[in-house]
Structure 1
């Protein structure tokens, strides 16, 4: 029997007004509505997506990808601890506490204990965090085990699988790589959708970075296609900064600048725009200085930062051309998110604005001591 409409509470109703038992749905679902008349669909009130980490991790499947040893696992564990304890994700984002499941499938209990102590930094262990080091492939009982934990923790907010390769299982014979990738992510997505929980899959990226960070994700496009969101963690070797690139169905595409605390293996969200981390050192130095001392010219920038004057002069000009700085046209430079002050009222003292932005008052024209001196009318 098919359903003709759906009540606001999600129950299915047939053309005669009879409530359709879930098992009678033509689509085979037994616990939730999956089909609607289009007009009735517009009147249904759905619950808003549940966020494990607002702006970053919504209910559904999110892939966290990055190169080996870039810090993905530290980020994933820190997020799980923060969610379970109701702390601040990345040191800044306030969270509602809720049970979290962390599957650390590449290590031992001893290693996980050591990492947890590092992340906690002497703080108490959250009771709401469950840690597991073994799980079968999703299609061989792994998805059922995760669902069982979710049944026992109905208010759960986050499941982390580190790493995805440990539970994806072998590719079925005769199935294309794309279909296998889509199917493997789909296994855990079905669980995430059923329970309305955020699932974070830790995964790898290719060695060569692409202009489109979605192309960085290892495997076929089936992984990105089946997931609800993709996040890629990029970090330049030898630098304590990284960028988290995000796109998805329920999240806005964005870039977030991060800093890494090596003592506590913790990623922290920066106020600094992510794009600045990719700037060459000279440009980054100049931009950082102008954020604290806006409206300066090349000479002042050179004196304050130690950047050679000629280099500073050329660099600010190029940065203005690249829309990394803007200028008032008088040799003063500002970051693009700053505004120059309004022009001052005219003064009797003339100001000489050199090309380097230095402002040198000129002496007023001398008043003739003798009326015969000066310019003839």
Structure 2
């Protein structure tokens, strides 16, 4: 690590590529992480119903849009509603009273108290996962300026608190082949957010829509959905099945091997040779090194301590197993079941 004055903290590439780092926790699997997101759509398309469903799902820890969630407190700033309308919507969605789902129908503006209000709520609710602002226009301090500067302020709050902030936004009536260009002030928004979702009806009034998803940490996705009026929720029709992760195979083999060996110290090539005793999968030395570094922080949950150190003969992998810290509870597992699928967990 190198310090330059009081401003820059610099790490070289060796540190970045050899140090296990804590993985970013998703709020909605492969869709939302701590950061700032925009959900845009035409008026009356059902953005607020979707926002309510997201908050309910996170508060109860159930899937939404076919994706898993991390359970925690949700705060919904429904700034164009009243409590009577909120009550009616919750009853229409067959929701149960939930202590960690909260609402407000008024809030301060960005730069004029909103950040402090969110931070104060976080202090009272340490497990806060998401704050929804419906709609974004209601919290703007300067409606004549670009959205970008104000959104960056909220993004910094989201990063600092480790929460997801979802801003509900409008689309312009002008047609465009790229739905993200239809967001009001799309140029200012694009560089300030971590992800954007554009909800666009396939035919006006049909109850069918495509939600276009893009972001820094999410793959571009088009979700075909329909609005189910029985439960007042958007239902995804085309979510692809989760594919088995290669990481799972490598990490599972390491788990089974070190559980029996207890301690290993050697090169990546030597470890790959040892792993042949627990799997027929072809594993390459650079792959096992990469997977261990990227997942090393989380391996401790399964009783595995990992180090990647430089010695006189080069770099060696050090693994040690402590069964008392193994959260898998000693269950009988196969190679591909030894650890939770890395696509569904923080590993």
TM-score, normalised to structure 1's length? 0.59
What SS does the corresponding residue of 2:227 show, helix, strand or coil?
A: strand
TM-superposed deviation, 1:41: 4.2
1:250 is matched with 217
Q: Which of 30, 35, 60 is residue 9 of structure 2 equivalent to?
A: 35
Q: Which of 129, 135, 146 is residue 163 of structure 1 equivalent to?
A: 135
Deviations 1:108-143 (A, max 9, x none): 111111112222x1x422211111111010210011
Report the Cα distance in structure 2 between the residues aligned to 1:147 and 1:209, rounded to whole angstroms.
Answer: 38
Consecutive unaligned residues in structure 2, runs of 5 or more: 241-347
Contact 2:180-2:186 within 8 A present in 1 as well: no
Report the Cα distance in structure 2 between the residues aligned to 1:272 and 1:60, rounded to whole angstroms.
Answer: 24
TM-superposed deviation, 1:44: 4.7
Deviations 1:231-282 (A, max 9, x none): 0001121312111101100100110011101233210111378xxxxxxxxx
Q: Which of 94, 97, 114 is residue 68 of structure 2 equivalent to?
A: 94
TM-superposed deviation, 1:198: 1.1
Matched, 1:263 2:221: no
Matched, 1:26 2:6: yes
TM-superposed deviation, 1:43: 4.5
TM-superposed deviation, 1:49: 2.1
2:59 is matched with 84
1:193 is matched with 159
TM-superposed deviation, 1:217: 0.8
Contact 1:51-1:198 within 8 A present in 2 as well: no
* Structure of higher CA gyration radius: 1
Once the two structures are overlaid, the 10-residue window that deviates more, 123-132 or 228-237, is: 123-132
Contact 1:259-1:269 within 8 A present in 2 as well: yes
Matched, 1:183 2:130: no
Report the Cα distance in structure 2 between the residues aligned to 1:197 and 1:211, rounded to whole angstroms.
Answer: 32
Contact 1:50-1:196 within 8 A present in 2 as well: no
Give runs of aligned pairs for residues 17-166 of structure 1, distance below 5 A: 26-27=6-7, 35-39=9-13, 40-90=15-65, 92-119=66-93, 121=94, 123-166=95-138
What SS does the corresponding residue of 2:133 show, helix, strand or coil?
A: strand
Report the Cα distance in structure 1 between the residues aligned to 2:80 and 2:188, rounded to whole angstroms.
Answer: 24
Report the Cα distance in structure 1 between the residues aligned to 2:69 and 2:143, rounded to whole angstroms.
Answer: 38
What SS does the corresponding residue of 2:48 show, helix, strand or coil?
A: helix
Report the Cα distance in structure 1 between the residues aligned to 2:140 and 2:20, rounded to whole angstroms.
Answer: 35
Report the Cα distance in structure 2 between the residues aligned to 1:43 and 1:152, rounded to whole angstroms.
Answer: 37
Report the Cα distance in structure 2 between the residues aligned to 1:262 and 1:97, rounded to whole angstroms.
Answer: 25
TM-superposed deviation, 1:227: 0.5
Give runs of aligned pairs for residues 193-272 of structure 1, distance below 5 A: 193-235=159-201, 236-271=203-238
TM-superposed deviation, 1:207: 0.7
User: CA-atom RMSD, angstroms?
Assistant: 2.1
Higher percent of residues as strand: 2
Contact 1:85-1:97 within 8 A present in 2 as well: yes
Deviations 1:40-76 (A, max 9, x none): 4445543222211112222211100000101001100
Higher relative CO (CA 8 A, sep ≥ 6), structure 1 or 2?
Answer: 2
Consecutive unaligned residues in structure 1, runs of 5 or more: 6-13, 16-24, 28-33, 274-377
What SS does the corresponding residue of 2:27 show, helix, strand or coil?
A: strand
Deviations 1:11-59 (A, max 9, x none): xxx59xxxxxxxxx723xxxxxx73233444455432222111122222
TM-score, normalised to structure 2's length? 0.64
Report the Cα distance in structure 2 between the residues aligned to 1:130 and 1:35, rounded to whole angstroms.
Answer: 38
Contact 1:104-1:163 within 8 A present in 2 as well: yes
Report the Cα distance in structure 2 between the residues aligned to 1:145 and 1:272, rounded to whole angstroms.
Answer: 36
Contact 2:130-2:166 within 8 A present in 1 as well: yes
Deviations 1:84-115 (A, max 9, x none): 0112213x323231111111000111111111
